[in-house]
Amino acid sequence: MQSERRFRVEILLGCGALVLALWALIALLVYQAQRHAVESGVASGRNLARTLAEYQDSSVRAIDLSLRQLREHWLREPSTFDQAVATQEDHLRKEKVVQVAVLGADGAISYSRLPQPGPLNFSDREYFKVQKTRGTDELFISAPVMGRVTRQWAIQVTRPVLDAEKRFAGVIILAVPPPALELMLQDIALGNQGVILLSRGDGTILARSGGLERTETASLAGAPGLAGDGAASGEFRGPGRFDGVERFFAWRRLQNYPLTVYVGQGIDTVLEPYYRDRNLLLGGGALGTVLLLTVALLLVMRERERARFVEERERLVLELHDSSIQSIYAIGLTLESARRMLEKDRSAAERAIAEAGANLNLVIQDLRTFITAERRGPYSEQEFRAEIERMLPPAAEGVPRFAVEIEPGIVATLPPRQATHLLRIAREALSNVVRHAGAKSARLALWRDGERVRLEVSDDGVGLGARADAALGMGLHHIDARARKLRGRAQIQGAPNQGTRIAVEFPHRA
């Protein structure tokens, strides 16, 4: 029974170890899937930022070239400036320039490609103040402002107009709407929370996919990628400055201008492949766990059925061997004794034969009870003693004399199951004495020792060492098996020519 329980525990432990190994592998695969999704998303954002930066660098360089050429024409021949603008119409349209204007030193419009609604002055604009106070010939890109002439959001790309003495004489302007990044990237899926930004070096947002108006009060000041030195590109994770949405950002600075392109991808968009793989892995893990548990359960059930079969087979062997077979053996001894007495004492022989016949009827009755699985009621002390005496061979030459000592009242307290096991143990022990001990006398004793019951069968025969081990081993095995069923233990003691003592002790009402 203990080995069977141990085997079931081993099955469950083995299944548990496999389940743990399975989920450890799944955890590793989930971690790798997450890392791969993040690395793939970051690499995609990095490549996109580089492409956009190269495009924006080329676009700003083309607009700056147009600014320089038009400024030279304005300084050389302002009367034909309109014709110079017309000659660059195709180029300006390609760069989405919506307005060409020249401001005087006081901020008033000296030239406008578009009709003016009236006298306008732009001395309050950021780009005018920067170009007037800076005193150097540098390109300046303004923050998006609502145009007073174009009536739309536009970025003012400007350079100063300097006279012959290099004094500030005005500003030349090309107005460009925020780059239509979404149109250029319409085949690239950034997800619902994806965003592309073009920022000036001071953190001012010049363009944003999905609408610039949401970034009027936002600034990227302090964000990675705005410093004038250090790496030209990089990536980070953080919340958006204008909507607080957590994103993976990749950035790239323009090579020739103080502008930075940011590509932001929503966390869910980047991790979407990971979520898909994770769900598949978790589903597979759950299915694998169910299969392993099912296999373990089937193995446990199979082992339980096998144990039941073994136990039932052992019960059948014990019942047949310790009851009917031993009784038949005792009957055989009686008949053999009767055969020897036929010539000496015919009447004694007839009594022995009659006794053998009666005992044979009892064996038949026991077999019927065994086959029909009828429950045996409690034994009385007289019935118990009668069963013991029925096991004893008739007195004859070469047969040991048996003494039977049963504590008064103990049999009545024994449940039928315990009493039956005790009778089977006693039958086997007595049979061993008759067949193998070569003893002159033997003793069977049953008594209570505290909370335990003790049965002893002893003899003064040849002892264990001189007996046939194979013949004796099966009987002792049966005694030990029945002792375990009583939740007790069996002890066999003996030495050559010093007799044998078989003792079985078990808890009362176990």
Separation between Cα atoms, residue 61 and residue 79, nearest integer Å: 27
- DSSP states along 376-405: P-PPPHHHHHHHHHHHSPPP-TTPPEEEEE
In the chain, % of residues over pLDDT 70: 83
How confident is the model at residue 62, as a pLDDT? 92
Q: Are strands 233-239 and 168-176 parallel, antiparallel or unpaired?
A: unpaired
What is the percent of the chain with per-residue pLDDT over 90, rounded to a whole number?
Answer: 35
397 falls in which pLDDT band (50, 70, 90)?
low
3-class DSSP string for 149-181: CCCCEEEEEEEEEECCCCCEEEEEEEEECCCCH
Question: How many angstroms separate the Cα of 396 from the Cα of each of 122, 391, 428, 461?
Answer: 143, 15, 20, 17
User: Looking at residues 207-235, what average pLDDT do you find?
Assistant: 75
Do 322 and 482 touch, CB atoms closer than 8 A? yes
Report, as an integer, the average pLDDT of 204-212. 76
Express each pLDDT in 281-290 by its tens digit.
999 999 999 9
Model pLDDT, residue 228: 65
- Whether 127 maps to a domain, the answer reads no
**How much is the pTM?**
0.59
Q: Give the residue-averaged pLDDT of 436-452.
A: 88
Helix (H), strand (E) at residue 132:
helix 126-134
Q: How confident is the model at residue 477 (pLDDT cuts 50, 70, 90)?
A: confident
Domain contains 382: yes
208 φ/ψ angles, rounded to the nearest 5 degrees:
-150, 130
Question: Does the pLDDT at position 180 exceed 60?
Answer: no
Mean pLDDT of the chain: 83
Sort strands 441-449 and 401-406 into parallel, antiparallel or unpaired: parallel
336 versus 432: the higher-pLDDT residue is 432
Judged against a pLDDT cut of 70, whether residue 187 lies above it is answered with: no
**The pLDDT value given to residue 510:** 45
> Domain tally for the chain?
1
Predicted confidence (pLDDT) at residue 364 exceeds the cutoff of 60: yes
Residues 6 or more apart whose CB falls under 8 angstroms from that of 78 comprise 110, 111
Give the model's pLDDT for residue 38.
Answer: 92
Residues paired with 140 in a beta bridge: 158
How many other β-carbons are positioned within 10 Å of the β-carbon of residue 35?
11
Distance CA 370, CA 327 (A): 14
Output the domain CATH number for residue 393: 3.30.565.10
| 341 compared with 453, residue with greater pLDDT | 453
Read off the pLDDT band of 119 (50, 70, 90): confident
Rounded-to-integer distance, Cα 132 and Cα 127, Å: 9
Report the distance separating Cα 12 and Cα 293, nearest Å.
8
119 DSSP 8-state letter: -
The DSSP letter of residue 142 is P
Domain presence at residue 482: yes
> 495 lies in a domain?
yes
> Is 213 domain-assigned?
no
Per-residue pLDDT reduced to its tens digit, 145-170 = 888 888 888 889 999 999 888 899 99
- Model pLDDT, residue 304: 80
pLDDT for the residue numbered 170:
95
- pLDDT tens across 239-279, in order? 887 778 899 999 999 988 889 999 999 998 889 999 999 99
* pLDDT at position 367: 66
Higher pLDDT pick, 472 / 117: 117
Q: Is 70 exceeded by the pLDDT of residue 1?
A: no
Distance in angstroms between the alpha carbons of the first and the last residue of the chain: 16
Least confident stretch, 24-28, 244-248, 330-334, 367-371 = 367-371
Alpha-carbon gap, residue 43 to 206, rounded angstroms: 24
Stretch 447-457: mean pLDDT, rounded?
90
Residues 281-336: pLDDT tens digits?
999 999 999 998 888 888 888 878 877 777 777 666 666 665 566 667 667 777 77
Q: How far apart are CA 507 and CA 510, in angstroms?
A: 5
Q: In Å, how far are 51, 65, 251, 416, 451 from 48, measured between CA atoms? A: 5, 26, 9, 89, 87
Q: Domain of residue 491: give its range.
A: 375-510
CB-side neighbour CA atoms (13 Å) of 118: 0
Look at residue 425 and tell me if it is in a domain: yes
Task: Identify the pLDDT of residue 471.
Answer: 46
Note the pLDDT of residue 316. Answer: 67
Strands (E), 361-496: 401-406, 441-449, 452-459, 489-494
The pLDDT of residue 470: 46
Nearest residue to 56 (alpha-carbon basis) of 252, 205, 236: 252
pLDDT at site 22: 92
DSSP-derived letter for residue 143 is: P
The answer as to whether 393 is a domain residue is yes
**Length of the chain (residues):** 510
Q: How far is 365 from 21, CA to CA, in rounded Å?
A: 59
Q: Does 440 reside within a domain?
A: yes
pLDDT tier at 190, thresholds 50, 70, 90: confident
**How many whole angstroms separate alpha carbon 208 and alpha carbon 261?**
10
Q: What is the pLDDT of residue 241?
A: 78
